[in-house]
Amino acid sequence: MTMLEARGLTKRYGKHVAVKDLNLQLKKNECIALLGPNGAGKTTTLHMLAGLITPTDGMIMSDKKVLIKDKIGFLPQYPTFFDWMYPKEYLMLAGTLSGMTKKTLKERSLHVLEMTGLLEAQKRKIGAFSGGMKQRLGLAQAIMHQPKILLLDEPVSALDPAGRIDVMNILENLKKDMAILFSTHVLHDAEQICDKALIMKSGQSISYENMKEWKGNRQRKRYRLETSDPLQIEGLQKLYKEIDIKESQKIIGTLRHNVTPNMLLQYCIQQDIGIQYFGAEEKNLEEHYIEVMEG
Amino acid sequence: MKRFNALFHKEWIEAWREKKLVWLPAVILLVTLLQPISLYFMPTILENSNSLPPGAVIELPIPSGAEVLAGTLSQLHTIGTAIIVLACMNVIVQERNNGSLMQLFSRPVNTTTYIFSKWTMLVLLHLGAFTISYGAAWYYTNALFSDVSFTSVWKSFVIYCLWIVLVITVTLFVSTFLRRSGGVAGISILIVASIAILSTVMPDIAIYLPSNILNLATEVLNTEKGTVHMGAVLATTIAFIAILLLTMVKKFEKSVKF
């Protein structure tokens, strides 16, 4: 089931085109990462999908119907609350505005506070929260009303490494019940939990790929070799057909047609090269990203 | 209605936690009470001021209670109006600038609910403060000067309430299209002052307009009856408030889409 579909989404501000002809399909239990440099139009896209700005052109639908706001949970890039409020009060206000009943409010707000690790902070006013805590509360308010679609604008950019991992684990769990679309600069995270990656550049989608697919579809496997001593490249060139990355003690590339990985390993042993790491290497998102950006 | 209640409730908690619920009534009470009390002590104040030559005799006519209350209203008309504008200038602007408004509007909230939750709360807060202050002023006027009848006080109260509502509405109206609270205060005071000044610049037309509210309230205090134009003034004021509210909701609908 298509939870969220955007067709030909365009936003113009006067002459400036922020987003141009963007197509997107978010299915149930799917997670898409929205990538791209600063100013590529990621936030504008998310705002349009969340119904905060009206697109100049194009349409947004959910399951072939008009998208309603009850279904969406949204976390802005810089979540802002009322400083004089307690976290639970904000969650209850947010829940009420999203049409939750009084009975479920209290229980649910405690539950999302626990999920985001804010249970101990609930006696403090939001004004006394750190940036990371605000980001967590932002996530809590976005999932408060159990939306079907979760839109997150850089959910981890304000967090420390431990917090980042926490949030990613939360998102991994949420994937069971929600379709998630989030923008990020941390490619590693996107690779871990997302099924698809949409890369934007100056308002346009330049790559929209299924990451699982591209990983399985690679015809020739690449092999990575790391050694303790500097590599003698001449000998290796006979075995490697194409070398993608070459550093003094590291080499990644595809092997020649009739060369097996064992032969490469054997060669290293014969030459008495100290092997530190040897293994098949999948193409990662970072490489893909840089490739697309330059291309 | 559930959404309105939630936002309305939020406004009151905010006013309480930021102590607006305390300082606003206190300041308005102070401004209102200053008039009867300072008038009462005026002879003593002048005597003690030491700037008079020895032997000077001061003889001030004792004002009637109605005159004192009219003076109170006119005091409120200048200082009080400015206080109301200052108390209201931030309510929308702040939430809009820091982004909390955007976060609220990612939920199914419509602009009418949002604006009316703020408007209703501000109107009730200010009218509450005015009721206490005017009641206290009436009490002191009766105690220190001559009695003023309840009917005339009540009528003048109702008439003047409209002015307060108008000032709040104008300030909120300006808040929906300016993004700086200083600008909101400046433009609101400019609009309110222009309305007030009409009664001296174009008295012929102003007798039908909100500009005449203060004169009307004063007249009611003195004579217990309004002029023939009372209906017209009340009607134009209410119409003006309604138009401002409608335009503000429509305007905000557009501008809230950031």
Mean pLDDT for B47-68 is 78
Selected residue of B107, B118, B255 to mutate for chain A interface (largest A Cβ count, 10 A): B107
Token pair belonging to B135:
């009641």
Interface contact B203, partner A, CB < 8 A: no
Confidence label for B202 from pLDDT (cuts 50, 70 and 90): confident
Rounded to whole angstroms, the Cα distance separating A175 from A168 reads: 11
pLDDT higher for A242 or B39?
B39
Torsion of CA B193, B196, B198, B199, to 10 degrees: -160
Pairing type for strands A149-153 and A57-62 reads unpaired
Q: How far is A96 from chain B (nearest CA, A)?
A: 6
- Taking residue B135's Cβ as centre, other Cβ atoms within 10 Å add up to 14
pLDDT score for B136: 95
- CB-based contact A76 B102, cutoff 8 Å: yes
Q: Are residues B156 and B69 in contact, defined by beta-carbon separation less than 8 angstroms? A: yes
Give the distance, in angstroms, between the CA of residue A177 and the centroid of all CA atoms in the same chain. 17
At residue A217, the pLDDT reads 58
Contact A81 B100 (CB under 8 A): yes
Mean pLDDT taken over chain B: 90
Cβ–Cβ of A93/B258 closer than 8 Å? no
Distance to chain B for A68, nearest Cα, Å: 8
Any A CB within 8 A of B93 CB: no
A216 vs B227, more confident: B227
- Interface contact B6-A96, CB threshold 8 A: yes
Q: Which residue of A has its CA nearest to B14?
A: A84
- In angstroms, rounded to a whole number, what is the distance separating the alpha carbons of residues A195 and A190? 8
Give the tokens for residue B185: 């205060």
Phi/psi at A57 (nearest 5 deg)?
A: -150, 160
The predicted structure's pLDDT at residue A262: 87
Q: What is the DSSP string of A100-150?
A: --HHHHHHHHHHHHHHTT-GGGTTS-GGG--HHHHHHHHHHHHHTT--SEE
Per-residue model confidence (pLDDT) at position A215: 63
More confident residue, B82 or A263: B82
Q: What is the pTM of this model?
A: 0.87
C-alpha of A115 from chain center: 20
Q: In a 3-state reduction of DSSP, which class is residue A2?
A: strand
For residue B185, what pLDDT is reported?
95
**Shortest distance, CA A225 to any CA of chain B (angstroms):** 49
Instruction: Say what the pLDDT of residue A216 is.
Output: 59
Q: Decide if B102 and A52 are in contact by the 8 Å CB cutoff.
A: yes
Residues of chain A in contact with residue B93, where contact means CB-CB under 8 angstroms, are none
What's the pLDDT at A282?
73
Q: Are B6 and A79 in contact (CB < 8 Å)? A: no
Q: Which amino acid is at B110?
A: N
Q: CA of B241, closest CA in chain A: separation in Å?
A: 27
Residues of chain A with pLDDT under 50: none
Mind listing the pLDDT tens digit for each residue in A89-105? 999 999 999 999 989 99
In this prediction, what percent of chain B has a pLDDT beyond 90?
61
CB contact under 8 A, A94 and B107: yes
Per-residue pLDDT tens over the stretch B118-163: 999 999 999 999 999 999 999 999 999 889 999 999 999 999 999 9
Using CA atoms, how far apart are residues B237 and A293, in angstroms rounded to an integer?
A: 61
pLDDT of residue A281: 76
Packing angle of the helix pair B65-75, B150-175 (nearest 10 deg): 10
| Confidence tier at B10 by pLDDT (50, 70, 90) | very high
**Chain A closest-CA separation from residue B105 CA (Å):** 7
**pLDDT of res. A218:** 56
